[in-house]
Amino acid sequence: MVQAKPHPAAATEQLHSISPSESEQVIQFQHSEQYRTSEWYTGDGQITASGDNRSFTVSATYTLKAEVKLVKGVFERSNPTLAQVYSRRRRCVAIVDQTVAELYGEALHGYFQHYEIPLELLICRAWEIDKTPETVHRLLKFLGKDGCDVSRNEPVLVVGGGVLSDVAGLACALHHRRTPYIMVGTTVVAAIDAGPSPRTCTNGTQFKNSLGVYHPPVLTLVDRTFFRTLATGHVRNGMAEMIKMAITDDAVLFEQLEHHGERLLETHFATLSEDVDLAQIADEVIYRALFSYMKHEGTNMFETYQDRPHAYGHTWSPRFEPAAKLLHGHAVTIGMAFGASLAVEMGWLQPADRDRIVALCQRLGLSVYHPILEDINLMLEGQKNMQRKRGDGGLWAPLPTGIGRCDYAHDVSPTLLQAAIDSHRQFCSTLPNQGQGQEMYLRDLGLE
Ligand SMILES: NC(=O)c1ccc[n+]([C@@H]2O[C@H](COP(=O)([O-])OP(=O)(O)OC[C@H]3O[C@@H](n4cnc5c(N)ncnc54)[C@H](O)[C@@H]3O)[C@@H](O)[C@H]2O)c1
């Protein structure tokens, strides 16, 4: 007689405890590795039965593994990073920004041909005006049954700037409810901020970025050689987000930007120069900015916790940025400089540190003032919107308390806000060009 093998348990159950009442049962449920199908996503949980056979509660935890890597020449044949991911899947499904496809399409095709990996490509125009649910639908069609029929564990390759990472990340989140993607950010913003970010989104009818889900790429490849072809205004724009990370979290990064920021801007992060030392500094600056960002944002998956240094410069600006048609980076630096004046007004920051913050932004041609700040009703409205967005518990505006550190203002009264606006206006009236930067409007870079 052949004895049947015992069926492997689908999951291990552990009766954890009986508490607090005698009848309550807590069961820890751990799924068996043998049935696991995703390289990146795992989960387990706990189920607590009340014991009356009428109700129970479930709490589940999951892990998302997200790797971020600096690489050089991602489409160079000598670089096996992407081939290692896609050759065993026998194809690569990719969504690529239209401008990037024009500039790097040949290299992209050449790379996959070299490794004999079929490439299924969608070229997507990804301007700010394309950040719509319609674009997300188009991407979903490409990923779905009518298109490439991407399986739920097949990582989609996304190559482009922050607009594409937001909409394509969202499409991946919706396809099969969660499909992994690999992000190659080709702008400074996408490389150090939007690209690895867990926040994917599209614009809603009234608010920017209002529809979305938390879905970080499983792998972010940061290759600064793409910055070579960027407009200098876009490089400057991305540096605003780096300054934000430096002020609130990393004093060393701040000093590096003080010393090397202008050269990094001029040379598009050492891609327009042969200077080997500068190339090393460029990598170091990018790494520090990324690490700081992901330390706080990558581990705070649902933005449940509002101790978020990287929201600095983003409290009032979402209201005044579209109203003044500012480029995002300039709106952020205006918000940061204003926040520094507010912090001085509150006694949190020494005036000398505010001056350093403003001087760094100005040296890189970033704005620190716009007269729209004087519209107190708009500023109060922005504050109210932000309070709702951050969860109604408070404003939680990150404000610097020194270089490389910050704290969070729970409330900012209308009187305090007005006093900070007045003192910031007065301070900026003495600055060259009253604190306005270079190419500060959307139309300057053709993004309107
Ligand atoms: N999800 C987040 O956490 C997060 C964070 C920051 C910003 N964002 C979003 O990112 C967007 C801005 O991103 P962005 O600044 O990358 O802009 P973008 O994606 O619009 O790219 C800017 C322009 O550069 C072009 N481009 C891209 N790579 C290029 C290259 N290597 N060479 C030449 N041209 C290139 C693009 O086609 C585009 O015209 C905004 O919509 C913003 O809301 C999201």
Same domain membership, residue 374 and residue 440: yes
Would 21 be classed as within a structural domain? no
- The answer to whether 91 and 117 have CB atoms below 8 angstroms apart is yes
Single-letter amino acid code for the residue at 223: D
Q: Looking at the predicted structure, is the pLDDT value of residue 53 above 70?
A: yes
Residue 259: CATH number of its domain: 1.20.1090.10
DSSP string, 17-71: EE-SSTT-EEEEEEE-GGG---SSEEEEEEEEE-SSSS-EEEEEEEEE--EEEE-
Q: Is the residue at 1 inside a domain?
A: no
Q: Is 92 within a domain?
A: yes
> Whose alpha carbon is nearest atom 38 of ligand 1?
127
Distance 299 CA to ligand 1 centre (A): 23
Instruction: For residues 254-264, give the mean pLDDT.
Output: 98
For the stretch 356-399, pLDDT in tens is: 999 999 999 999 999 999 999 999 999 998 998 888 779 999 99
CA 114 to centroid of chain Cα atoms: 32
Percent of the chain beyond pLDDT 90? 81
Number of domains comprising the chain: 2
pLDDT (tens digit per residue) in 120-167: 999 999 998 899 999 999 999 999 999 999 999 999 999 999 999 999
> Rounded mean pLDDT of the chain?
93
Confidence tier at 8 by pLDDT (50, 70, 90): very low
Which residue, 172, 201, 230, sits at the end of a domain? 230
pLDDT above 80: residue 15: no
Residue 6 pLDDT exceeds 60: no
Q: How far is CA 353 from CA 340, 373, 405, in A?
A: 8, 21, 11
Residue at 167 is within a domain: yes
Give the Å distance between the CA of 155 and the centre of ligand 1.
21
Encode pLDDT of 173-213 as tens digits. Answer: 999 999 999 999 999 999 999 999 999 999 877 667 889 99
Atom number in ligand 1 closest to CA 163: 19
Q: Is there a single domain that holds both residue 201 and residue 238?
A: no
Please list every protein residue whose CB sits less than 6 Å from any atom of ligand 1: 97, 99-100, 103, 126-128, 131, 160-164, 166, 186-187, 189-190, 193-194, 197, 199, 209, 226, 229-230, 234, 237, 328
User: How remote is the CA of residue 128 from the centroid of ligand 1, in Å?
Assistant: 8
* Cα–Cα distance, 186 to 126 (Å, whole number): 12
**Residue 203 pLDDT:** 87
User: What's the CATH code of the domain at 124?
Assistant: 3.40.50.1970
CA–centroid distance, residue 433 to ligand 1 (Å) = 27
Domain extent, residue 351, equals 233-445
Of 230, 261, 278, which residue sits at a domain end?
230
Confidence of residue 20 (pLDDT cuts 50, 70, 90): low
162 Cβ contact partners less than 8 Å away, ≥ 6 residues apart: 185, 187, 189, 190, 193, 194, 195
Check residues 448 and 298 and name the one with the higher pLDDT: 298
Nearest CA to ligand 1 atom 13: 162
pLDDT band at 442 (very low <50, low <70, confident <90, very high): confident
Residue pointed to by tokens 């930067």: 437
Q: How confident is the model at residue 9 (pLDDT cuts 50, 70, 90)?
A: very low
Quote the ligand 1 centre to 435 CA distance (angstroms): 25
Q: Is the pLDDT reported for residue 55 higher than 80?
A: yes
The Cα–Cα gap between 31 and 11 comes to 4
- Would residue 11 count as lying in a domain? no
pLDDT of residue 22: 64
Residue 448 has pLDDT above 90, yes or no: no
**Is residue 421 in a domain?**
yes
Tell me whether residue 323 is in a domain: yes
